[in-house]
């Protein structure tokens, strides 16, 4: 049995509501995912989903479709134009799948929390705290987190230094964020994380974010 089949089997045994189906030559799992209450036990919601495992797996997320239209088909509800669920900001996906993701971990740690946030949204009318927005706003929020700042200028300064090859050679030099702190003690670790991404991708992020911020006069 190859590694992929082993992973499918592990996932099927962990999520007994799922079964394997063939979808245009790709492998897919379909069926019910139960959301259990971690604290009090019991199932508080369930979703009927199809998980399509693309060729790029395990270095990309499988596509997940919610089959009963419990989640309204609109971007504000994290549904993509192709009706797959939008499972997060692209950088997060790149980070998580860079060295491969296990299928059962994907279902447990990405799909289930996503569905549980949708249930919360349905009941309360808003998303639980910590939810990233979509599009450029979401990407900006990701970098706010990553660089521990709430200033769009800081984010652009840092990304600009990365793509223009202006990072300090020596750790004792001053950081590129604009604060008068040593690089080593300021953004070095966070920037090292960003550097793991594809260079052209970082460049696209910078250009897109700058256009987005210019459009909104940096008032967000």
Contacts with Zn ion, residue ranges (CB under 5 A): 175, 177, 186-187
Residue 114 vs 187, nearer CB to Zn ion: 187
**What distance in Å separates the CA atoms of residue 106 and residue 53, rounded to the nearest whole number?**
11
**What distance in Å separates the CA atoms of residue 153 and residue 160, rounded to the nearest whole number?**
10
Q: Which residues contact 138 (CB under 8 A, 6 or more apart)?
A: 89, 132
User: Is the peptide bond prior to 64 cis by the omega test (within 30 degrees of 0)?
Assistant: no
DSSP 66-123: ETT--S-SSGGGTB-TTSBB--S-HHHHHHHHTT---HHHHIIIIIHHHHHHHHHHHH
Cβ of residue 17: shortest distance to Zn ion, in angstroms? 47
Cβ of residue 92: shortest distance to Zn ion, in angstroms? 22
Residue 21 vs 190, nearer CB to Zn ion: 190
Question: Residue 99, exposed/middle/buried by CB under 10 A (0-12, 13-18, 19+)?
Answer: exposed
Cβ of residue 169: shortest distance to Zn ion, in angstroms? 16
Residue 87 vs 191, nearer CB to Zn ion: 191
Residue 19 vs 181, nearer CB to Zn ion: 181
β-partners of residue 14 are none
Cβ of residue 209: shortest distance to Zn ion, in angstroms? 17
Cβ of residue 156: shortest distance to Zn ion, in angstroms? 13
Residue 53 vs 177, nearer CB to Zn ion: 177
CB 149, CB 177: distance < 8 Å: yes
């Amino acid at each position: 049995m190859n590694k992929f089949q082993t992973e499918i089997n592990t996932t099927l045994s962990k999520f007994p509501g799922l079964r394997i189906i063939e979808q245009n030559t790709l492998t897919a799992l379909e069926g019910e995912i139960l959301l259990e209450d971690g604290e009090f036990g019991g199932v508080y919601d369930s979703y009927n989903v199809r998980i399509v495992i693309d060729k790029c797996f395990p270095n990309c997320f499988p596509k997940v479709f919610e089959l009963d239209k419990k989640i309204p088909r609109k971007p504000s509800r994290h549904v993509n134009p192709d009706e797959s669920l939008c499972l997060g900001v692209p950088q997060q996906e790149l980070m998580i799948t860079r060295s491969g993701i296990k299928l059962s971990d994907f279902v447990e740690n990405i799909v289930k929390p996503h569905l549980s946030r949708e249930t919360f949204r349905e009941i309360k009318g808003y998303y639980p705290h910590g939810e990233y927005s979509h599009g450029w706003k979401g990407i900006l929020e990701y970098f706010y987190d990553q660089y521990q700042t709430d200033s769009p200028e800081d984010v652009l300064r840092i990304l600009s230094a990365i793509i223009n090859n202006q990072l300090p050679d020596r750790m004792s030099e001053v950081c590129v964020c604009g604060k008068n702190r040593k690089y080593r003690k300021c953004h070095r670790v966070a920037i090292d994380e960003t550097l793991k991404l594809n260079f052209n991708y970082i460049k696209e992020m910078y250009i897109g974010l700058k256009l987005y911020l210019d459009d909104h006069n940096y008032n967000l």
